[in-house]
Amino acid sequence: MTPFALEPLFFERLLKEKVWGGHTLAKRFSLQPEFDGPLGETWELSDYPGEETTVRGGAHAGKSLRALMEEVPEVVLGNSQPSADGRFPLLVKFIDAGDDLSVQIHPPDGPKSPTGVGKTEAWYILDREPGAGVICGLKPGTSQEVFAAEAGDSRVRNHLAEIAVESGDCVMVPAGQTHAIRGGVVLCEVQQTSDVTYRMYDWDRLGLDGKPRETHLQQALEVVDFQLPPAIPYRATFGLARATGGLQNSVLVSCDYFRLEELRVGSVGGDLRGQGFAQTLSVLSGQGDVASLDNSFAPRELIPGDTLLLPGGLEGVRLCASSDQEPLSLLLGVAL
């Protein structure tokens, strides 16, 4: 059997047309969707059934993440745990909210999810128009009875916690948290590998087909966690040492499924060790390259929007920014 070539895995992104999408992502990453409608999401790394991303370049070009998980799951995952249905546990996407997303909620793992897999997620805010924010949670003291009566129409707005965000903020969205991304926000999302969403209220708008989009009020109400407080945005904290150009990291959020860190590295470069866990890397800003620690694979260029998977069996990589003037900023997702 030919040894598995251990190297960072880049993927062909999947572009998703959404009624609430916009045009910011297409401009930001120089994308050309094949559809005429607004671009809402790009799925950068996915093992979701029927939506698996395919490796771009390198020794495994053309293989899907699903195929690699079937062939060498122990190499891909390392010490990371697969999802309850045996999939790669994390899905990474960029979201462009040209308009408000529906007021929605995701179920936890278990019987309240039709697949058995829940959806806890986290948002890293890339950009936002003046005044734009997110909804993440219910106002303290919200009555379960009153909310149930009003969640399916415009009255739900009276109970939603509006959260102000800035570029660089990170917001944790656990399963059971009522939420919506407001129009004008662009973000990177790291989540469990699930696409189960229960819509409560969709702002009385029509879908791309000209008909009202389906809502799932009863299923949504069954998974609302009224004990969850409204979200608090978190930001990376870097010391003055970043001026030396080496690699720095700052933990943003952590849960049972993943840990998110923001990385910054200058032109001096720095080593990122794998520690036995599968890791995702998304380039937020800057340019640079990712190289081998032992010359086992050729360096690959990194540009904004690139998302790559560092298999759990990979010892680590060396990251380096192209310029002294602009550090390479990345979002690291560690699959737990």
- Dump the DSSP string for 68-129: HHHH-HHHHHBTPPPPTTSS-SEEEEEEEESSPPPEEE-PPSSTTSTTS----EEEEEEEE-
Mean pLDDT of the 5-20 span: 96
Q: How many helices (H) and strands (E) does the chain have?
A: 5, 23
Q: What's residue 1's pLDDT? A: 46
Residues facing 281 on adjacent strands: 308, 332
Q: Give 239 or 290, the one with higher predicted confidence.
A: 290
What pLDDT score was predicted for residue 3?
73
Pairwise pLDDT comparison (241 vs 100), residue with the higher score: 100
Residue pLDDT, tens place only, 82-99: 999 999 999 999 999 999
pLDDT at position 222 is: 95
Residue with tokens 């924010």: 133
pTM: 0.94
pLDDT of res. 245: 55
Question: What's the confidence (pLDDT) of residue 267?
Answer: 87
pLDDT band for position 243 (50/70/90)? very low
Percent of the chain with pLDDT over 70: 97
End-to-end CA gap in the chain:
29
Per-residue pLDDT band at 242 (split at 50, 70, 90): very low
Q: Catalogue all structural domains in the chain, each as residue range(s) with its CATH number.
A: 9-235 (2.60.120.10), 240-335 (2.60.120.10)
- Given the residues 13, 199, 259, 300, the one annotated as active site: 199
**CA 157 vs CA 139, 148, 332: distances in Å:** 10, 13, 34
Q: What is the mean pLDDT of residues 181-207?
A: 94
Residue 45 and residue 42: Cα distance in Å, rounded?
9
Q: What is the greatest pairwise CA distance in the chain? A: 62
Amino acid 130: pLDDT: 94
Whether the per-residue pLDDT at 201 is higher than 70: the answer is: yes
Examine the residue annotation and report whether 157 is marked as an active-site residue of this protein.
no
Q: Specify the pLDDT at position 325.
A: 84
E-strand ranges in 165-223 read 169-173, 179-181, 185-192, 198-201
Whole-number percent of the chain with pLDDT over 90: 87
pLDDT of residue 239: 63
What does the alpha-carbon distance between residue 232 and residue 280 come to, in Å, rounded to a whole number?
24
* Mean pLDDT over each residue of the chain, to the nearest integer: 93
Condensed to tens digits (0 to 9), the pLDDT of residues 294-325 reads 989 999 999 999 999 999 999 999 999 998 78
